[in-house]
Amino acid sequence: RTIYTAGRPPWYNEHGAQSKEAFVIGLCGGSASGKTTVARKIIEALDVPWVVLLSMDSFYKTMAASNDYNFDHPDAFDFDLLSHTLRKLKQGKSVKIPVYDFTTHGRQKEWKTVYGASVIIFEGIMAFADKKLLQLLDMKIFVDTDSDIRLVRRLRRDITDRGRDIEGVIKQYNKFVKPAFEQYIEPTMRLADIVVPRGGGNMVAIDLIVQHVHSQLEERKLRWDIAALASAHQAQPL
Ligand code: C5P
């Protein structure tokens, strides 16, 4: 990974003008559908030097969370900070990102720095729920995994990694997670360019996605190179 100095990543020319833009992939799907696994497999297969994975989980609002707090409602997320952050990253700038703690339901004191990249993968249950965010996405992928599989995975994960008990997980699932999936998440599947059934095990889908990203990066490189040549040509004294 390249650490950019003085806020000027390589895609700003000597006049400070932007000469490149990151390719942003939006990855949406229900809780425990395998979004992160799909993202990791894409990153692995892409094999390009600078890729950043941005998770919506980092942008949960800090609320005094009670047992009855609905983490599966759009109001639970700080969409303003999210679109501001993604826009900056897309421009190749580095950003500070909150670090969310699922056991305390709050943000940690230290925010982490994320540097600009050629490809950004943005994943989350409501990745397609906000107009401003949608405009920043160059490719939209929906991971469609059966709800029974998602529930089993979620039980295991929340108990092992997020300090929950079985009763609590089932209660939260029935009260918030399942209705929210039906009301807010599943309907956004129609906004996707590609739907990946089953998730991370679907290597055909992952290969197709990676092929598309590679061809988009090539095309963009060509476009930016032509623009740079044209501006260099204009700058030539007669
Ligand atoms: O990783 P995943 O996409 O599953 O994360 C989203 C889920 O995290 C939501 O369905 C929400 O119910 C859950 N969540 C939670 N406790 C929090 C914040 C989010 O259980 N404090």
Whose alpha carbon is nearest atom 2 of ligand 1? 31
Report the distance separating Cα 4 and Cα 148, nearest Å.
Answer: 44
Amino acid making up residue 85: T
* Ligand 1 centroid to residue 153 C-alpha, Å: 13
Is the C-beta atom of 169 inside 6 A of ligand 1? no
pTM here? 0.90
* Ligand 1 centroid to residue 230 C-alpha, Å: 48
pLDDT tens, residue by residue, 186-238: 999 999 999 999 999 999 999 999 999 999 999 988 888 888 888 888 877 66
* Ligand 1 centroid to residue 70 C-alpha, Å: 9
pLDDT tens, residue by residue, 125-176: 999 999 999 999 999 999 999 999 999 999 999 999 998 999 999 999 999 9
Report the atom number in ligand 1 closest to the C-alpha of 164: 20
The rounded Cα 165 to chain-centroid distance in angstroms is 28
Report the distance separating Cα 55 and Cα 26, nearest Å.
Answer: 10
Report the distance separating Cα 118 and Cα 51, nearest Å.
Answer: 6
How are strands ordered across the β-sheet holding 139-144?
51-55, 119-124, 23-29, 139-144, 194-197
Domains in the chain: ranges and CATH: 23-213 (3.40.50.300)
Q: Which ipTM score applies to this complex? A: 0.98
